[in-house]
Amino acid sequence: MSSPSTSLGSVSAGRKIKDRLVQGLVYLAFALAVIPLVSLLWTVVKHGAKRFDADFFGHSMNGLAGKDAGGGAYHAIIGTLEQVLITSVIAVPIALLAAVYLVEYGGRSRLAKVVSFFVDVMTGIPSIVAGLFVLALWLLTLQMGFSGFAGALSLAILMIPTVIRAAEEMLKLVPNDLREASFALGVPRWRTICFVVLPTALPGIITGVMLAVARVMGETAPLLLTIFITKAINTDPFTGPQGSLPTFIWDQAADPNHNAVDRAWTGALVLILIIMLFNLVARLVARAYKPTGR
């Protein structure tokens, strides 16, 4: 009975205005975030569509100069897929084991702290430095030649810390109750991790791996130093220079002829499409393994 206007009905005009204002700001921020993204996609699709043809996917640039029409990125697509596959094969197991160590075994031990610190440091490594490292160690010191594998090594250096961080966060999210439930059944720790903890965290880990794959797939700088540039198809990632989409785009875009520039645009479009396709597949896989609620 404090004030006469205790009716529950109306919201004061001031609050309504504030509500509208903040709502407007939120939509504005959203639009600002989306505009560059849509514009970028649109530009790439518009310019890339011109050469989005069978030739592009079926041919390499072997024997073609920048001014020539035709040609394609077959060698680059093969190269990128092989390099990213090798990168993932190297990086994902190392990163997963490291994350499992940090969350399940490391605790507050000194080693865990050191590992965690260096993961943070590695996350901040500029990609060109990863490339230089492989150049210095693999190509110059060990005297190995340019190859897709060397490229994959440099990409793995970039991928490992990202996957460790993502997997670590996901493992931390697994409720401790589940670990205890498993221990209480007389299940050893390693089996608990393999059959209870990892499956529960799997959807998140897959998403993290895919984001890391998407990131390294677009890296150009380390590849220029490690796989070099070739216009020919090289399906063997262990010997000789290999193509890749980022270096293909870099090479073609640097050529002033409009045929080359068109190829660069289509290369960018294909790269984006491959990353989107990977993400889509990852989402489907993650959904298939998702812990099902009620």
Partner 1 sequence: MAKRIEVSGLHAYYGGTHAIEDISMTVEPRSVTAFIGPSGCGKSTFLRTLNRMHEVIPGARVEGKVMLDDEDLYGPSVDPVAVRRTVGMVFQRPNPFPTMSIFDNVAAGLKLNGVRRKSQLDDIVEESLKGANLWEEVKDRLGKPGAGLSGGQQQRLCIARAIAVQPQVLLMDEPCSALDPISTLAIEDLIAKLKNQYTIVIVTHNMQQAARVSDRTAFFNIAGTGKPGKLIEIDDTSKIFTNPEQKATEDYITGRFG
Q: How far is the CB of 164 from partner 1 (least distance, A)?
A: 21
Candidate ranges 80-88, 91-99, 163-171, 190-198; the one touching partner 1 (CB under 8 A): 190-198
Among 89, 125, 185, 232, binds partner 1 (CB under 8 A): 185
* Residue of the chain from 87, 88, 192, 259 that contacts partner 1 (CB under 8 A): 192
Alpha-carbon distance of 156 to 189, in angstroms, equals 29
Contact status, residue 223 vs residue 146, Cβ threshold 8 Å: no
Please report how close the Cβ of residue 141 comes to partner 1 at its closest, in angstroms.
42
Distance, in Å, from the CA atom of 116 to the CA atom of 130, rounded to the nearest integer, reads: 19
Q: Is 4 exposed, middle or buried (0-12, 13-18, 19+ CB in 10 A)?
A: exposed
Among 196, 225, 249, 264, binds partner 1 (CB under 8 A): 196
Beta-bridge mates of residue 147: 240
Kindly tell me which residue out of 24, 126, 145, 188 binds partner 1, with binding defined by CB under 8 A: 188
Report the alpha-carbon distance of residue 49 to residue 45 in Å, rounded. Answer: 6
Contacts with partner 1, 6-35, as mask; x by CB under 8 A: ------------------------------
- As a residue count, the chain comes to 294
251 and 73 Cβ atoms separated by less than 8 Å: no
In the complex with partner 1, the residue whose CB is nearer, 24 or 199, is: 199
Q: Which of 107, 85, 247, 228 is nearest to 159 (CA)?
A: 85
Window 88-117: residues binding partner 1 (CB under 8 A): 107-108
**Where on the chain is the footprint of partner 1 (CB under 8 A)?**
107-108, 175, 177-188, 191-192, 195-196, 199-200, 202, 289, 291-294
